[in-house]
Amino acid sequence: TQAHLDAMAAARGLNAFLVETPERALAMARASDARIASGDGRPLEGLPLGIKDLFCTEGVITTAGSNILKGFEPAYESAVSGNLWRDGAVMLGKLNLDEFAMGSSNETSAFGPVVSPWRRPGSDAPLVPGGSSGGSAAAVAARLCLAATATDTGGSIRQPAAFTGTVGIKPTYGRCSRWGTVAFASSLDQAGPIARTVRDAAIMLRSMAGPDARDTTCADLPVPDYEAAIGRGVRGLKIGIPKEYRVAGMPDEIERLWQQGAAWLKAAGAEIVEISLPHTKYALPAYYIVAPAEASSNLARYDGVRYGLRVEGRDIVDMYERSRAAGFGREVKRRIMIGTYVLSAGYYDAYYLRAQKIRTLIKRDFETVYADGIDAVLTPATPSSAFGIGEKGSGDPVEMYLNDIFTVTVNMAGLPGIAVPGGLDAGGLPLGLQLIGRPFDEETLFAASQVIE
Ligand code: GLN
C-alpha cells in the first residue's frame, strides 16, 4: 500500500486521482495484516485499489467529475465498493472521470483531463486515456493501483482499457448492483473492473458482483468463481465475427488486429464463424437518444438543494437555474437538452420510442446468433488507438461519439463485454479486442480473452 501511495504521489501529473486517502489506506492495510496474522484472511486482503469517483464512498468526497457535486460527502458506501472492502481490499483514493461519465476521453471532467501514461515514440504530446473511466485506466496502466473500479454505459470500461493496454470487463446488466453509484443512464449503466490482466479482472469482478435487494435491477443469481474459468480455453467454442462491424473507413491496422485475434482463437481450438447483426448501424444514434433521455431525468435531482453546489438567486427557481448553470459543464448540458427534447410531448414517439424499438432489434440480433450456437462475438474494441488531448470533438461532438461505435451495442442489449489488449499499432500504442458474451456468461469471456492476452 505504501509503495502505491508513493507511486501516486510521484505521478500527480497524470491527474488520475481526484482524492487520495492515504490515512484510510494505511489503516485498511493494517487491518488486513491483522486478519492475515490471525488466520482470518479474505479473498482480496490488502490489495490496493482505486475507485472511480462515480461510486459513493462513505465520508469521502464524491464528485462524479462535476462541479455540481462539489464538496458532496456521501453518508453511505456504494454496494460495489462495499463488497470490495468486505473482501479485504484497500482504498487508495478516488479516480478522475468524464463529468457524470459522459465522454470518451476524460476531457469533460470539471477537474481537468487525465493524461495517459502512454506516449507515441519520439513525441511528448499528451494522449487521452479514453473515457469515461480515464482515471481508472491511467492509474492501472501507470501501476498506481493494482486494479480499479469503473463503469460502462456505452463503452466507458472497454474503450479506456483498450487505449491503455489494460483489461476491462462490463458484465451483464444486473450482475453488479448500481446502488450507491451516481446514475447516468440507469438502464445501461454497469460497474466492472479495469485491471492489468484477465485473471485480476476475474478476481475483481467476483467480489464486485452479486445480488443486492437495494437495486431492483440487480440479478438474484450466484456469482461463479470467474478465476476458475481461466485456463478453460476455447476448444469447441463457436466465435462469431459480425460483418457489420467492418465499418467504412476502418484503419487497416484495426482490421489486421481483428484477423489476428480470430487466428489466435482458431489456433486454440475455436471455430470462427462469420455472422450478421443487421441492426448494428442504428445502435450509435439510438444510444445517443436513450442515454441522454435517461440522463436528463437522472440529473434533475441536482437542484442546488440536496447536494453539493448552490448558487443563491432571487427566488427558488432562479436559485435552481443559477446552480445548474454554474454546476454542469458543456457536455452535460448538451445531454440534458437532447434528453429533454426527445422525451417531450410531440417528439417522444419520433425519437425516444423509435430508439427503444431499435434497442429491441439490436437485442434480438444477438439472441438470434446465440440461438444458432455462437458462444461469443469477437470485434475490435475501438475504431482507433488513443488520440491526443484536445484533438477530437471540440467542434463536432459526433466525432467523439463515433469512438463508441463498437461498444454501445453491448449496453443496448445488456450483454457482457470484455476488452483485452491485442497488440500495438504502427505508432506503438495499444489496441484492444472486444469479446461479447451471452447474458450472464462472463466465464466464457474470461476463458477466451485469456487466450488472446
Ligand atoms: N462515451 C459514451 C458516452 O459519452 C459512453 C460513456 C460511458 O460508458 N459512461 O455516453
SS3 400: helix
> Is 289 close to ligand 1, i.e. is its CB under 6 Å away?
no
**Residue 199 cell numbers, joined:** 485473471
Ligand 1 neighbour 153 (Cβ under 6 A): yes
> Would you say the CB of residue 295 lies under 6 angstroms from ligand 1?
no
Q: Is the pLDDT of residue 6 over 90?
A: yes
| pLDDT value of position 216 | 97
- 415 Cβ inside 6 Å of ligand 1: no
Ligand 1 and 102: CB distance under 6 A: yes
How close is the Cα of 182 to the center of ligand 1, in Å?
14
Residue 420 near residue 445 (C-beta atoms within 8 A): no
The CATH number corresponding to 2-229 among 2.60.40.2140, 2.40.40.20, 3.90.1300.10, 2.130.10.10 equals: 3.90.1300.10
Ligand 1 atom with the smallest distance to the CA of 411 is 8
- Closest approach atom of ligand 1 to CA 151: 9
User: Which of 132, 299, 335, 412 has most ligand 1 atoms within 8 Å of CB, for mutation?
Assistant: 132
> Any idea what the Cα angle at residue 451 is, between residues 447 and 453, rounded to 5°?
110
Give the cell for residue 381.
474494441
Residue 394 has pLDDT above 90, yes or no: no
The x, y and z cell numbers of residue 429, run together, are: 500504442
Residue nearest to atom 10 of ligand 1 (CA): 102
Query: Do residues 311 and 323 lie in contact, with contact meaning Cβ atoms separated by under 8 Å?
Result: yes
Scan for cell 500527480, then name that residue.
12
Ligand 1 and 154: CB distance under 6 A: yes
Residue 131 Cα to ligand 1 midpoint, Å, equals 7
Mutate to test the pocket of ligand 1, among 153, 296, 299, 334 (most ligand atoms within 8 A of CB): 153
pLDDT tens by residue, 368-378: 999 999 999 99
What share of the chain in percent tops pLDDT 70?
100
CA-to-CA dists, residue 34 to 24, 26, 81, angstroms: 15, 12, 21
Q: Would you list the domain boundaries of the chain?
A: 2-229
Return d(Cα 79, Cα 416) in angstroms, integer.
Answer: 19
Give 423's strand partners: 431
Give the contacts of 101 (CB within 8 A, at least 6 positions apart). 54, 64, 65, 132, 133, 151, 153, 156, 182, 184, 189
Identified catalytic residue from 132, 207, 323, 449: 132
Ligand 1: atom nearest CA of 408 is 5
Active site residue 238: no
Distance of CA 91 from the midpoint of ligand 1 (Å): 25
Decide: 101 in ligand 1 pocket, CB within 6 A.
Answer: yes
For residue 240, report the distance from its CA to the centre of ligand 1, in Å. Answer: 25
Residue 52 a catalytic site member: yes
Establish whether this prediction's ipTM goes over 0.90: yes
Averaged pLDDT for residues 263-276:
98
Q: What is the pLDDT of residue 395?
A: 79
For the question of residue 132 being annotated catalytic, the response is: yes
Average pLDDT (427-439) is 97
Scan for cell 455540481, then name that residue: 68
pLDDT above 90 (res 107): yes
- DSSP letter (8 states) at residue 309: -
Q: What is the pLDDT of residue 152?
A: 98
The residue whose CA has the least distance to atom 5 of ligand 1 is 154
148-207 residue pLDDT tens: 999 999 999 999 999 999 999 999 999 999 999 999 999 999 999 999 999 999 999 999
Q: What is the pLDDT of residue 393?
A: 83
User: Which of these is catalytic: 32, 52, 66, 384?
Assistant: 52
Q: What grid cell was written down for 419? A: 476488452
Instruction: Calculate the alpha carbon distances from 222 to 151, 174, 204, 210 in Å.
Output: 21, 12, 15, 7
Looking at residue 148, its pLDDT comes to 99
Q: Could you tell me which of 203, 257, 289 has the C-alpha nearest to residue 381?
A: 257
Residue 396 is predicted with a pLDDT of: 87
> Tens digit of pLDDT for each residue in 303-356?
999 888 999 999 999 999 999 999 999 999 999 999 999 999 999 999 999 999
Closest CA to 434 of 410, 403, 399, 398: 410
Give the pLDDT confidence score for residue 248 in this predicted structure. Answer: 86
Of all residues in the chain, the percent with pLDDT exceeding 90 is: 96
